[in-house]
């Protein structure tokens, strides 16, 4: 849960790319893209 929160915070507040986020958090680019897609589908920004 903490990783998801970190990914979304860095994506929406810092504006980092998926590749940079993946390296910073230690997960794959696909996982980052999936988290961001699901957050946007849920109406989060």
CA distance 20 to 42: 23
Specify the pLDDT at position 5.
93
Specify the pLDDT at position 30.
96
pTM of structure: 0.85
Domain range for residue 33? Answer: 1-42
pLDDT by residue (tens digit) across 9-33?
999 999 999 999 999 999 999 999 9
Residue pointed to by tokens 């893209």? 33
**Whether residue 1 has pLDDT greater than 90:** no
Specify the pLDDT at position 6.
92
Number of domains within the chain: 1
The 10 Å Cβ neighbour count of residue 28 is: 11
Largest CA distance in the chain: 26
């Amino acid at each position: 849960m903490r990783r998801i929160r970190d990914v979304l915070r860095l994506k929406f507040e810092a504006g980092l790319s998926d590749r940079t986020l993946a390296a910073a958090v230690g997960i794959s680019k696909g996982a980052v893209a999936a988290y961001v897609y699901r957050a946007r589908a849920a109406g989060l920004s």
